[in-house]
Amino acid sequence: MSDHLPPDHAPAKKCGIAILANDRISNWLLPFLESYRATNAATPLYLIPYDDNLALTRRAADVYGVHLVTEGSRDLDVLARRLYPFFPGHRRRLRKFMSLALPLDEVLYIDVDTILFRDVREVFGKLEPGKTDFIIASSSEEYVYNKKSEKYDFLRDVRLFNDGFFVTSNKLLSLQDFYAVIAKDGRIFHSVRKRGMLFAQPLSNFVTHRRGLKIASLAECVAGASDESFYKVTDVSFDANGAPLDWLGNRIFFAHWAGATALPDGRVFDKAWQNYARLASERMKI
């Protein structure tokens, strides 16, 4: 019997969602989990611990059927300490890259200051080595590199992205790639990275750019999808199911409160967030 199965009988890829959280951000975690339960419960969710402050987080993982990641992050923590020796708390943000070590063929990492509106299974199966290696939702022109990046060919005219959402495979981008790139080009990274309490985002951009990965947006990969997700957007409508559409009528998959300094109150997505927060509180009996 042939080892090469026809496409219709090939083993299904194992895909999942990954988040990074602890008890300190439970006000964001719980509404996210409630939105996940409502829209994406069919897809496995993996929670990477930000630190050991996990009493409520562990209970939430049990309530929502989330896989709590127990694999150690020692090597990644060593890299984070080397890159950011003076920021012991903030450098743990690099633990999001443990998503690349999960037992998955494809992973969608997403920040928890987010709520999901639609089933993300449409996003999986779109990766194509050398053509679409890394899928993003939004660009980030100002929060990645400084002007010194213009000196390097591999950083010139690249696509700068917000790494609060990305889809990739550890066959295309692995933790070992992070270690190898920094071992070779750590000095370049430090010379070009944007300062200002930025940690994971300059690194994720630098490694993908150094490796020459092909980056595509959500809208380019999923028919009818929008790249919009910013919580301050105003030109939004809603479909018959109450899910948001952008100004062109394209489907918004999630809302991200990137850079928010207060809990949602008064903007276009905030009522949905408040509703999920209320439902989560009832479910957790807080």
Residuewise pLDDT in 10s, the chain (286 residues): 344 444 554 568 999 999 999 999 999 999 999 999 999 999 999 999 999 999 999 999 999 999 999 988 899 999 999 999 988 889 999 999 999 999 999 999 999 999 999 999 999 999 999 999 999 999 998 999 999 999 999 999 999 999 999 999 999 999 999 999 999 999 999 999 999 889 999 999 999 999 999 999 999 999 999 999 999 999 999 999 999 999 999 999 999 999 888 999 999 999 999 999 999 999 998 6
Dig out the tokens for 60 from the structure.
């939430």
The single residue listed with the structure tokens 């301050």 is 232
Q: What are phi and psi of 20, to 5 degrees?
A: -125, 125
| Closest residue by Cα to residue 18 from 101, 125, 77 | 101
Q: How far is CA 30 from the centre of its chain?
A: 17
Contact 131, 106 (CB under 8 A): no
How many other CB atoms are found less than 10 A from the CB of residue 47?
Answer: 24
Dig out the tokens for 179 from the structure.
């270690």
- What pLDDT, on a 0 to 100 scale, did the predictor assign at position 17? 98
Which helix (H) or strand (E) element contains residue 17? strand 15-21
Spatial neighbors of 220 by CB under 8 A, at least 6 apart, are none
